[in-house]
Every structure is written in structure tokens, then in C-alpha cells.
Amino acid sequence: MSTQEAAATWDAEWEEEARAELRRRQGLGARYDAENAPHRELAWARSGTAFFARKLAELGDDELDEPSLLAGWSRRHLVAHVGYNGRALTRLTEWARTGEETPMYSSAEQRNAEIERGSTLPARALRNLFAHSEVHLNVEWRDLPEAAWDAEVRTAQGRTVPARETAWMRTREVWVHAVDLDNGGSFYDFPRDLLEELLADVLRSWQRRGEHVALTLAPAGAEQVVVGQGGPTVSGALPDLVRWLTGRGARRLTSSTGEVPEIPRWF
């Protein structure tokens, strides 16, 4: 067993022991995620929610009117999006639990109109939208039965996925959009294993869409990742590479061709 494999095994054992100890302390009657739940992704989603909440709390009400890092969206639009995304993922979780189809959104037009309306809410109501939606989603996750985690639901992009995918979908939203609030959040705040999974997620997204990408990623201190048939080598710290791959700029990166290449969108 390699050192990396041994560390991963130790982490998994430590997490299981920590969950068991928490249950002993909380006693009978406490409610927990099902054993079949995606515990790693749920932990990421919950810590990312706390990260987003902290960055949001640092902003004054007037600062919500200022631009986010997403073109055409103010911070108000971004907070509304994250709040309504929580509600949309709650609908998928309810679908898995009840078997009754409840799509994320009725249409792309409905989603966009919802965000636009949400961006006009008073600041307090906008903050409550985020807070209440994340609590509702977390309750649905916690109470989802074992078998329901593998029930199939459909994403807004039309992909059929098991309900466990909702934890990863939320992880992406809260962590990356915390940076998009543009008040000091950084990909350098992300856990390394989350950065590695985000990198893999971008590559999976390209593959699903049939994007023909040929390049080599060279994260500092880690093995290179060959994409497609390989191509220009883009080097830099892992947080900077992931920021670029997710469409948020190529700062501090270098390329073997002298210019960092254009890449397809993430999703």
C-alpha cells in the first residue's frame, strides 16, 4: 500500500470513528445521515455552505448591489441563485424520497426569472432566502432513507443521476460562488481533496459533452494530468489551475507555448 493509499484509509477510518463518537455523545433520538449517504460530499457541501455564509455575512447590505465576479450579475443575483439552487436541489431530494417527479426548474426561463426577481428582494429577505433554503435542504438530506440515495432524478441539464449527486452539485455551488462574491474568498481556501475533485469534475464535464481538449496540467508538487492526447503544458499551483478550469481566470499560470490556451466552459 502506498503512503497516499494509507493516508486515505486512515482518513476514512478516522471519519467513521468520529461519526460513531458523535452518535454516542448525542444519544438516542438524534437524527443522522443514512449509512448509504455520500458522507464526503455532504461534509464538503456543509462546510462550503458555512464558507459562503461567512463571506456573505462580511458584506454590508449596500455592498450586495455591487457586481459579483459573474458577468452581468450583482452580488444580489448571486445570493438569489445560491438560495434558489438550494430549493431546487431540495425538490430533487424530495423526488428521490417520494417517487413523485419534482424537477429542479420548470424551464430555463423560469429559473432565470426567479433569480431576477430574487435579486430585487430587500437585503434581509435575500439573506433569509439563503439561510432558510440551506436548512431545508440539509433536513431533506438527513432524513433521506438508505435506498432513496440511489433513486434516479434529473438535473437541470437533463442528466439522469442518483440522488446522491445532489451533495456534489451543492458542493460546487457554495464553494465556487463564495469566491464569486468577490470579497476575499479564494480557491486557496478550499481543501486540497475538494480541489482535486473539482479538477476531475471539469474533465468529466468535457468528456460528457464530447469536447476535444488536448493539454497537460502540471499542478505544483503533484503528478501531471494528461487531457485527451496531451498538448500544451499549463503549470501552476492547484488552486490557480482549478480557478482557470472553472472559468475564473488564468492568473499565475504558465504555459509551455507561452500563452495559456482557451478551454471550453465547465458546465
Q: Which sequence spans correspond to the domains of the chain?
A: 7-185, 192-255
For residue 29, pLDDT over 80 is answered with no
Q: What percent of the chain has pLDDT over 70?
A: 89
| 242, 257 contact by CB (below 8 A) | no
pLDDT of residue 4: 55
Q: Can you say how many angstroms the Cα of residue 202 is from the centroid of all Cα atoms in its chain? A: 12
Q: What is the CATH topology of the domain spanning 192-255? A: Nonspecific Lipid-transfer Protein; Chain A (3.30.1050)
For residue 231, pLDDT over 90 is answered with yes
For residue 48, pLDDT over 60 is answered with yes
Longest dimension (CA), the chain: 61
pLDDT of residue 28: 58
For residue 98, pLDDT over 60 is answered with yes
Q: What is the CATH topology of the domain spanning 7-185? A: Four Helix Bundle (Hemerythrin (Met), subunit A) (1.20.120)
| 203, 227 contact by CB (below 8 A) | yes
Q: How far apart are CA 163 and CA 37, in angstroms?
A: 9
pLDDT of residue 27: 59
**Mean pLDDT across 19-37:** 72
pLDDT of residue 31: 77
What digits encode the pLDDT tens for the residues 171-217? 999 999 999 999 999 999 999 999 999 999 999 999 999 999 999 99
> pLDDT band at 37, cuts 50/70/90?
very high
What digits encode the pLDDT tens for the residues 109-143? 999 999 999 999 999 999 999 999 999 999 999 99
What is the average pLDDT value for the chain, to the nearest integer? 93
pLDDT of residue 205: 97
Q: What percent of the chain has pLDDT over 90?
A: 88
Helix (H, G, I), strand (E, B), or coil: what is residue 243? helix
Beta-carbon contacts of 104 under 8 Å, excluding residues fewer than 6 positions away, are: 88, 89, 91, 92, 111, 154, 155, 156
